[in-house]
Structure 1
Amino acid sequence: MLVDFDNPVSVRYSEIAIDSFEPVIQRGMLDIIPTQCITPKTLHTVKHQFDWQKSLATIDGLNDREPKPMHETEMSGMCSHWELMRRQRYEDRFFIMEHDAYLLDADDFEKTYDFMLEHDLSYANLGLYMSCYSYNKHSAEWMYDQLTRSNNRLPVNCGPYLMAEKLYKLYAKHFLSKRDYKGKECSFLQPFRDHEKLGYGKTEEEMFMTINFKRSEQPYMNTPTTQCWSEDLGLTQNHHNYIRKHNLHYFFKKL
């Protein structure tokens, strides 16, 4: 779990998050390890590894003629996620979690957890945005290489959620499809646009349809986790146009 130990708000969110996951911790599915995230103070140590472009995120371009560079807190957050992606190449499979991840239902989590392991999913997103997700070793290595290789690195021009979508679609198109998806029925688990349910598939097109549209006729599962938010605690990350009382996605758990 990514936490900024120097930020009391981040630490408090992580405590709330870990408490919420206690039911699946007790079932032996998780052992949450708080991990220091990259911050604006340490961003310079890793920033050079990636090809940063002007942000195309809607929130970064509001009321501006030209897109702005990403805010340093968002860049730090993405680098934190990608550092754990790098580590996934060498370690047993784990979940990358943000400090405000929040368990909604233990049985739903166990169902999706078992599904992820049964199919050795390349990418399994079990929550709201990037709060709780996992890669298998090969997809983590392949995607990290797209971000950091010497030549033709993948441009970073949006936030972590859309970057994850782009990375999976590239992986499906350039690796999985050329190997008949390794004979698998599915390779990803991903929330639909409303985030209440999870869809699954394997192709580039199926990922696009799942992440960008409402639920289809295909079978789906309940999304077992979300993110929590407290008005008293507030936020720890900024965009150029963030305001304190912003409009949260309705799937957030308000404390």
Structure 2
Amino acid sequence: MPDETRAESGAVRLSVVVPVKNEAGNIAPLVAEIAAACAPLRPFEILYVDDGSTDATPAALAAARARHPELRVLRHRQSCGQSAAVRTGVLAARGELVATLDGDGQNDPAFIPALAAALAAAGPGAGLAQGQRVGRKDGRRKMIQSRIANGVRGRILKDATRDTGCGLKVFRRAVYLRLPYFDALHRFMPALVAREGFSVVHADVIDRPRLTGRSNYGLFDRLWVGILDLAGVWWLIRRRRRVPEVVTAETE
């Protein structure tokens, strides 16, 4: 798919992609936090993807753009889900590295530089730095659901990741574009990145309560919601027997 939405201006080191739906009250404080956290990583950009919000999110994003020139805004006319919003942002990103985080404020952007550094330290063979939440602020029921789903996923996919549901990630854009796209892709990235022959590094990140409002997306943490996706990812991994090592005739 061509990158029609990619900007043509100068080089960007890092693109921060944030999917949002009906998060008007969280826009201004989180954009300011992202800008402050990523200042050591300049030049960077922030891409908010408004997934068909019906509240004052568009107005809040317009106001934030006036204060933060590094902010770009894309909008889905209709809600297409979190995975689709992440993909829209990655396709439009100008940076070779992409960071993602949820738009509700529970993911602290202060951890983005550490994740980027962990990915860089692991070398070009690493495709993803995955955050893993500690000190979860979710309710007891959601945490139990998440623990069960993560346990089942880990045993089936053997992705060596304790918490794939954490929105805080830093990855190479080129690696993401090699992954098969489907709804809930962002929940299975460690397994799929490994399927492409890249390693995954992990870093603990501190969870915090959402800034305002309530959750707008359904929970993968309910195991029955993700069972078909889990089976599909297992099938994809089983079908990829070997990652080709490509060399040119001159290097043989």
Shorter-chain-normalised TM-score: which range?
Answer: 0.3 to 0.5
TM-score (norm 1): 0.45
TM-score (norm 2): 0.45
